[in-house]
């Protein structure tokens, strides 16, 4: 049997379940998922290692109409992700019919002329959207698969379809790797996830997390992290009454991080105000976001 491998971009509207699907296929939590749209910022790779194939999933930020510089960067990253991969997995929420946002993305993919699978997700919630997505798939000669990333139903068939469409290729990454990102990055993301989950709309997406230091001791790993916000009022919300909010964020994030490192974690968090970081390219780059050049 020929060994197959390749890069698969998971693209789709915000909140359709891209990060959830990536974690489910990889079998480990590497991408954060929240009910808040636009959680994923960086391009994160998830590696699925099988006896006959290596699937490298590229999680992309959701594609939407950009409002500020960070938004434009997100869309640009998603579009360039489509062009550089071997296969596109267009993920949609199959529990509701295709809307303008879905058709916008379908057109971007069509223009790229890349081999494409339509992944019809959230089938546990209902199948109302199924006919509309199948119609778009048929019009473009794309194959499709319906499944639930949350409960796992249909994912084996999806995996088989992905491998079918991948070219023969090498093992790009060592087989024990599940992601291309360093542990520090995942740790920062796990903290950001709790900030988004626990503060909701009060602290919007203007949050960045930096891991300043990781000290590995024999029995415990000490992690020092900084949460950057744009306004003093947001700092207040994050810290909470008598520090209660920051404590809760830390407790929840620490639990997730202990699963990641499979050991004990001591976590200390600080909050810092960095005005206007979202509009500044150099600061975006400094905070670790990939700002791609115009081509």
| Interface residues toward Mg ion, by CB under 5 A | 18-19, 39-40
Q: In whole angstroms, how close is the CB of 16 to ligand GDP at the nearest point?
A: 5
CA–CA separation, 179 vs 229, rounded Å?
Answer: 27
Single out the residue of 69, 75, 150, 261 in contact with ligand GDP (rule: CB under 6 A): 150
For the chain, first and last CA: distance in Å? Answer: 40
Single out the residue of 149, 188, 203, 223 in contact with ligand GDP (rule: CB under 6 A): 149
Indicate the residue among 21 and 246 with the shorter CB distance to ligand GDP: 21
Residue 19 within binding range of ligand GDP, rule CB under 6 A: yes
Q: Which does 149 bind (CB under 5 to 8 A by kind): ligand GDP, Mg ion, none?
A: ligand GDP
Indicate the residue among 32 and 245 with the shorter CB distance to ligand GDP: 32
CA–CA separation, 149 vs 23, rounded Å?
Answer: 9
In this chain, which stretch among 14-22, 69-77, 205-213, 235-243 interacts with ligand GDP, using CB under 6 A? 14-22
Kindly report the backbone phi and psi dihedral angles of residue 221, in degrees, each rounded to the nearest multiple of 5, phi listed first: -110, 125
For ligand GDP, the binding residues in 114-143 under the rule CB under 6 A are 121-122, 124-125
Indicate the residue among 57 and 246 with the shorter CB distance to ligand GDP: 57
Q: Which does 256 bind (CB under 5 to 8 A by kind): ligand GDP, Mg ion, none?
A: none
Residue ranges with strand state E in the chain: 4-11, 44-49, 53-59, 87-93, 116-121, 143-146, 208-216, 221-229, 265-273
Residue 18 within binding range of ligand GDP, rule CB under 6 A: yes
For ligand GDP, the binding residues in 49-68 under the rule CB under 6 A are 62
Q: Write the CB contacts of 105 (distance below 8 Å, at least 6 apart in sequence).
A: 11, 12, 13, 63, 90
The CA distances from residue 282 to 4, 70, 117, in Å, are 39, 12, 36
Indicate the residue among 15 and 132 with the shorter CB distance to Mg ion: 15
Paired strand residues for 265? 221
């Amino acid at each position: 049997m020929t060994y197959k491998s390749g890069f698969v971009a998971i693209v789709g509207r915000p909140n359709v379940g891209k990060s959830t699907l990536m974690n489910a296929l990889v079998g480990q939590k590497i991408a954060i998922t929240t009910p808040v749209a636009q959680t994923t910022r960086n391009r994160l790779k998830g590696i699925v290692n099988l006896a006959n194939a290596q699937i490298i999933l590229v999680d992309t930020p959701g594609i939407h109409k950009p409002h500020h510089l960070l938004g434009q960067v997100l869309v640009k990253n998603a579009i360039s992700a489509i062009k550089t991969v071997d296969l596109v997995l267009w993920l949609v929420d199959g529990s509701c019919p295709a809307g303008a946002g879905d058709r916008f993305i379908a057109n971007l993919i069509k223009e790229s002329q890349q081999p494409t699978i339509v992944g019809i997700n959230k089938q546990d919630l209902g199948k109302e959207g199924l006919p509309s997505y199948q119609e778009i798939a048929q019009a473009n000669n794309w194959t499709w698969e319906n499944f639930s990333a949350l409960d796992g139903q249909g994912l084996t068939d999806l995996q088989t379809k992905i491998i079918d469409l991948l070219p023969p290729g090498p093992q790009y990454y060592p087989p024990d790797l599940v992601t291309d990102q360093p542990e520090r990055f995942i740790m920062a993301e796990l903290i950001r996830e709790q900030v988004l989950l626990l503060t909701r709309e009060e602290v919007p997406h203007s949050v960045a997390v930096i891991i300043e230091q990781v000290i590995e001791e024999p029995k415990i790993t000490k992690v020092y992290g900084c949460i950057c916000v744009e306004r003093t009022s947001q700092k207040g919300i994050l810290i909470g009454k008598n520090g209660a909010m920051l404590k809760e964020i830390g407790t929840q994030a620490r639990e997730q991080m202990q699963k990641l490192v499979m050991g004990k974690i001591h976590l200390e968090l600080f909050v810092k105000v960095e005005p206007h970081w979202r509009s500044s390219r150099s600061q975006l780059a400094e905070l670790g976001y990939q700002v791609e050049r115009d081509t």
